[in-house]
Amino acid sequence: MTRINAARPQFFAQFLQQWLSQNGLSLLLLCGIFFPLAIFAFLAMQIWRQEGGLAWDIAILNTIHSSARPSLDYLAQTLTNFGTDLGVFPAALLIGLRLLSVRRWRSLTYWLLALLGGGLLNYLAKLWLHRARPSLWDYPLLADFSFPSGHAMSSIVFVAALILLTLHKPWRHWVWLLGGLFVVAIGWTRLYLGVHYPSDILAGWMLGIAWVLAVSLVVQPTQSIAQEASPRPEADLPDAILELISENVADS
C-alpha cells in the first residue's frame, strides 16, 4: 500500500504561518501568562527592596482618600466583603456543585484547580514577601500581609475562570462586562478602605490572570462536552486493528 507524505513547507515563513494557524490560541495563552507574570515579578522586586509603599502607591491612596465621605465608607465596607465571604466563595461553591451535578468533569477539575490553587498561591506569595499593610489612616488592623491582595486575586480568578468556562455561551458578553465591573469595584474598596496599596491590587490581578491561564493550558476547559463524555472513534484500538487488517487484505 503506497503512502503519500504531506508536502513540507519549503520556506520558514510558510512553516510559521502553518504553525500559527494550528497553535495561535496556545501562543496567545502563553503570552497571557508571561506578561502578567513579568509585571508581578517587577512589582515583587520593588517590594522586596522597599517594604513600605512606593511613591505612586502613596499618591494614589491619598487621592482616593480625599473623596472619602460617610456614604462611601458604608458602600466600601459592605461591598468589599463580596470579594470573598459574601460573594466569591458562595458563588464558587454553587458553580462547582452545578458542574458536579451535570457531570462536567473537565470543567469541574478546571474550576477547582483555578480557585483552590489560586488561594494557595496567594497565601504563599504573602508569606514570601510579608509586606506590611498601609497605615495612612485609621482602619481596623488586619492580621495577614498585604502583597498581593487576596480580595483582588480571588475576584479576578473567579471572573477569569468563569469567562473561560462560558466562552462559547451566547450570554458571555454579560459575564465579561459584569465580571470586569465586579473586579474593579472590589479593587476600589480595598484602596478606599486603606487596607492595600495599589501595587497590591495590581499584583493580585496579574498573578490571578497568569494562574488561570496556566491552568487552562493544562486542563483545556473549553474542550467540548462531547469530547469529555466519549472517546474519539480512532482511539478504539480493536476497530483500528480490524480496519488495518482489512486494508492489507484488500491490497494483497
Pull the grid cell for residue 217: 493550558
Strand, coil or helix: 12: helix
**Any idea where the domains of the chain sit in the sequence?**
73-223
* % of the chain exceeding 70 in pLDDT: 80
Residue 107 near residue 221, CB atoms below 8 Å: yes
Lowest mean pLDDT among 40-54, 102-116, 142-156, 220-234: 220-234
pLDDT band at 226, cuts 50/70/90?
very low
pTM of the model: 0.79
Query: Residue 244 above 90 pLDDT?
Result: no
Residue 57 near residue 199, CB atoms below 8 Å: yes
pLDDT band at 141, cuts 50/70/90?
low
Place of cell 484602596: 191
Query: Residue 51 above 70 pLDDT?
Result: no
Bond before 148 cis per omega within 30 degrees = yes
Pull the grid cell for residue 202: 495590581
